[in-house]
Structures are given as structure tokens and as C-alpha cells.
Chain A
Amino acid sequence: MQSPKRRLPFSAWHLLLMPLALLFVLPLVQMVLTSFMSSAEINQFPPKLLPTSLHIEGYRALLTETPALRWFANTVLVSTVSVLAHLVLCSMAGYGFARLKFAGRGVAFLVIIATVMIPIQLLMIPTYLMFARIGIVDTLAAAFVPWLASAFGIFLMRQFFLALPVELEEAARIDGCGTWRTFRSIVLPLARPALATLAVFTLLSSWNDLLWPLVAISDDNRFTLQVGLANFQGMRRTEWSQLMAGNVLATAPLIVAFLFAQKRFIATMTFSGLKG
């Protein structure tokens, strides 16, 4: 569609999109700029957007007075384990449900799909008790165990494998490949787009998760970044430069990843949107 009457030297859509774009992105810009301000600069009204010079006190205080680096490392670990486990376990299960015939396949898949609707609020109480009983409450394992595999991940991979032409696998079979070899060297390399979608989905969910690690972990040193920040904010409501520095630490990795792999992120959002 083109704009009907050209009274403006530019498309009228800019009048809608430019303010919207700024509305969405300016708070994040302000977050980054504020993290480099001194307390005196932050507490003045009207607020200034730009710091007078680069103050790194916020970062320094955050990193020395809290175990923020530790939280960051914990989050990296939890997300890495979650993503890797998801890639391995969900792709295997997806392949099993799509291609292999075995007793109980239909029932098992139905049960998995039925669990999609069960919300975390219902699960957190018994899961906490279960983890307490096996002794992993208050460890990083408690944070990543629920993210090792998901019904959504299994479903996503199964749909992808169902859409692959079966002839390649049959040819591999005839050439003497076993099921595992066929899966590992023929099917998985073809599944890269689906695996990338799954990785982005798991990364977003596990990195940004707050409620579950908040429930499962109470030892400062084992917090994830989201939990650490949320609690830090509860104690120091006014240390804005430190809070914004923490926010930068918590959001920058994913934002940078998003800027570099925007297409992949958007494909993930679309997939979880249209097929999830």
C-alpha cells in the first residue's frame, strides 16, 4: 500500500511509527544512560537523559557490594544447561514421536500435550516439596531441572520432523545406518532451523525466569540474576544507578543477541505464536 495523497514529503506512517518506536526504545536507552550517572544527577528534577560524564560508581558498587557477578555466572550456567538439555532431549523425543513406532507412543504424546495447559502456579508448591525431599532446594540444579525438557519443545521438534521428507532416512537405513546414526548424522543437521528456534525459546524463558528460582533458591550466592536484582531492589529502592547497572547486566546479553539474530528471535516468537 502506498499513501494515497502525497501532501507530506514522507509517508504518513512515520507519524505513527516514529513516536511509537521512541516510546518502546527510550526507556531502555534511559536505563543504560542512568546506569552511568551519579546519584546526584539521577535525583534531580526535571530528569536529565544524558550523564554529564561517564560515572561507573553504580557498576562498581553493584559488583563490590553484591555477588552480582556470581548471579550472572549462575544465570549463564542455568541457561546453558537448559538450552543444551532442551536441544538434546526434545529433539530426540520429537524424533521418537514423529518417526519411531513403539508401544505407548500415542498415549505418551497425548499426556505430554495435556500438560501444556498446567500453569507454574499450580506446580510450584508440589515441585518445591519434591525438590526439598530429594535435597536440591537451594542449589542451582533446582533452577534448571524444570527447564531440562518441555512439552512445547517436544511438540516443536515433532512437528518439524513430521514435515521432513522421509526418503532420506529410508536411504540411510538401506545403506545400513542404525536409528541413532540416521538421527545423528542425517536428520539432526537438517533440523538446524528448528533447533535454533528451540534454543532461542529456551534461552528467553530460562534467562528471564523469576518466579520459580525465587521460590526454589534462598541462598544469596545461588541466586540467578533476576532473583538477585529483584531482592536487591527490595532492599535498596533508591540506589538507582546500581539498580540500572544490574538491569543492564540482566538484559544486555539477550538484547545484543536479539540485535544480531533478530530473524531467529522473530521466527521463534512467530512459531510459539502460531503453532504453540
Chain B
Amino acid sequence: MAITFAASSHATVRRARPRGRAVRRNLTGWAFAGPATALVVGLSLFPAIWAFFISRARWNGIAPGVQVGWSNYQRLASDPDMLAAARHTLLLTVLFVPSSIVLGIVIAIALNQRIRLIGFYRTCIFVPYVASAAATGILAGFVFNPQFGAANDVLRHLGIPQQQFLESPTQALYVICVIALWGEVGFTTVIYLAALQDIPKELVEAARMDGASRWRVFRHVTMPELRPVTVFAAVWQTITAVQLFDLIYTTTRGGPLNSTQTVVYYIYELAFQTQRLGYGAAAAYLLFAVTLLLTLGIIWYSRRRGSEVF
């Protein structure tokens, strides 16, 4: 109000009202949008830019940092720990993303049937998604405990030798992938279920009337309708897999023998266990760039295949 008044007192009477109104409109607009915008910019855009400058320094957060140009990035390229972490993240992503999509489609189709108990099935399958990854990790440590865990008990009943699971360097990453799927498949299932329910019934019925087999209907009617959701799920699950941290922290903490140390876990250790802030920030930027490229790659590929989702 004060500003409106000041503005009108300086202007001629004829110009004052529209100008005052414009100021007032801007003020009202920013009063609504400003606080949230300031928070988002201040807590993501600003730190993201700052992180870039940190990534070009050698800095432990206490003594003054030394600008070192691109050398952090150059060192990352030949850091054996980073390369191993990248390999683990890649393996996890390659296993997790397609599995969560295929399982999501299969379970969504099953849950889309009109049969008894379907409400019960849906509740059971979605509920792990609500449990925190930290709790899921702790629970997994119990279920996959080599001495008395339920997983080994099941293997015993099936006549399969007992396994070390999370305590074995060759198995731990695969077990973590299974646990992540247990927690996240509910999400892909829900979005596929929604997409299935959006497919016009007439489309399926018409194809059936024309004599198409169930498989052909699925292949040529249902699948194309699901494609946009698949693109989205691929992007989302790729981000989920690349950023997986909580589960690793509460199951193996990167072990045994660093076999589950992923890039994100490595960044956490660099920055907050060994205080190498510049080097950690460089690794984080590299991870961001790769994730962005992967995402754009998936979108580009899907566009070329003729589905537009973004």
C-alpha cells in the first residue's frame, strides 16, 4: 500500500492509476508466489551453483579452500574407488529398472482383474512402498540373516544350500536390488494400474470381436497405450536406482569389501566421513551430469519411437 501511494504521488493524475495498479498487481503476485519461490531457489538453484565452485576446490570445510580448476574431475576419472562405485551403480540400475518395469506391468495386469480378494491383494502389494527405506534395510538384515533368517529357511525347505546373502561380496548387491524391488515395485504397479484403467474398454472389446487373441490384444492394443507410462517409469526408476542410499546405509554400509559401494554412497563418505568436500562435490556433479544424460537419452529414444510423454 505504501509503495502504491508513493508511486501515485509522483506521477500525473492520469498516469497514476494504471501504474499504481501494475505495482499493486506485481506485489500481490509476488506475495503469493514469492515465499515458496525464494525457498526453492535458495535451497536448490543457489546451492547447485555453489556446489560447482566447491567442486573446483580442494577443501575440508574448515581451512580455506584452494582453487584447483578441473583437477578434481580429472582425478575422478582414474580413481579406482570411483570406477568401482560407478560399476556397482550401473549394475544396480541395469538390474533394477527393467525388473521394476516388467514386474510392475505383470502385477498391474493381475491386479486389474475383477476377482475376489482383489482389494486385499492390492493392499498387500502396495504397503511396502509406504515403509521407509531405512526400516526396510533393517528388516532385510533380519530376513536375510545367514544364521537364522527366513530367507535361508525357505532355501532349506527347497533343498538349496544356505547362502551368505548380504555378507557375501558376490551376492550383496543382488540382494540389495531384490530388497529395493520389494520396496519400489508398488510404485510402478500403481502407475501401470492407473494407465490400464485409462485404456478405453471399447478398444479391447473391438479387437476381441475382430478375433484377436488375448496375446495379440495385449501386444497391439494394451502395450502401445502403456508406452508413455513406461517412458516415465524408466526415467523415474533410473533416478531411484542411481540415487539409492538409505537401503545401502542400513544393510551393508558399502561392504562387504566395498562390493555395494555405489556412487552416492561414495559421495557421502567423501564429503561427510573424510571431509573431502571439493572432491565429493565433483563426484556429485559427475553423477548429476550422467543422470541428466541418461534421462534425456531415454526421452530421446522414446520420442524416436513415436511416443510423447514429456
A residues contacting B by CB (< 8 A) are: 1, 4, 10-11, 13-14, 16-18, 20-25, 27-28, 30-31, 34, 42-47, 89-90, 92-93, 95-97, 100-105, 108, 111-112, 114-115, 117-130, 145-146, 148-151, 153-154, 179, 183, 204, 207-208, 210-211, 214-215, 226-227, 229-230, 233-234, 237, 240, 243-244, 246-247, 250-251, 254-255, 257-259, 262, 265-266, 269-270, 273-274, 276
Contact = CB atoms under 8 A, between A and B. Distances in A.
Interface in B175-222: 182, 186-187, 190-191, 194-195, 214
B158 interface: no
A229 B190 CA distance: 29
Q: How large is the interface on B (under 10, 10 to 19, 20 to 34, 35 or more residues)?
A: 35 or more
A121 B128 contact: no
A101 B25 contact: yes
Interface in B28-74: 28-30, 32-37, 39-41, 43-48, 50-51, 54, 61
B277 interface: yes
Nearest to A34: B142
A117 B36 contact: no
Interface stretch (B1-9, B75-83, B244-252): B244-252
A240 B142 contact: yes
Contacts of B271: 124-125
Given A13-B113, A100-B25, A119 B134 contact: no
B135 A117 contact: no
Nearest to B37: A108
Nearest to B271: A125
B29 A102 contact: yes
B150 to A, nearest CB: 6
A40 B119 CA distance: 37
Given A22-B124, A126-B51, A96 B33 contact: yes
Given A16-B106, A226-B135, 19 more contacts: A11-B113, A89-B36, A93-B35, A102-B25, A102-B29, A102-B30, A103-B29, A115-B45, A119-B291, A121-B243, A125-B54, A130-B47, A211-B249, A227-B134, A237-B141, A251-B130, A254-B130, A259-B127, A274-B191
Given A119-B291, A266-B190, A21 B124 contact: yes
B25 A14 contact: no
Interface of B: 25-30, 32-37, 39-41, 43-48, 50-51, 54, 61, 106-107, 110-111, 113, 115-118, 120-135, 137-143, 147-150, 152-153, 156, 182, 186-187, 190-191, 194-195, 214, 229, 232-233, 236, 239, 243, 245-246, 249-250, 253, 264, 267-268, 271-272, 277, 280-281, 284-285, 287-288, 291-292, 295
Contact of A233 (B26, B229, B232, B250): B250
B284 A28 contact: no
Contact of A42 (B107, B117, B148): B148
Which one of B43, B117, B123, B148 has the highest number of Cβ atoms from chain A below 10 Å of its Cβ?
A: B43
A122 to B, nearest CB: 4
Contacts of B45: 111, 114-115, 118
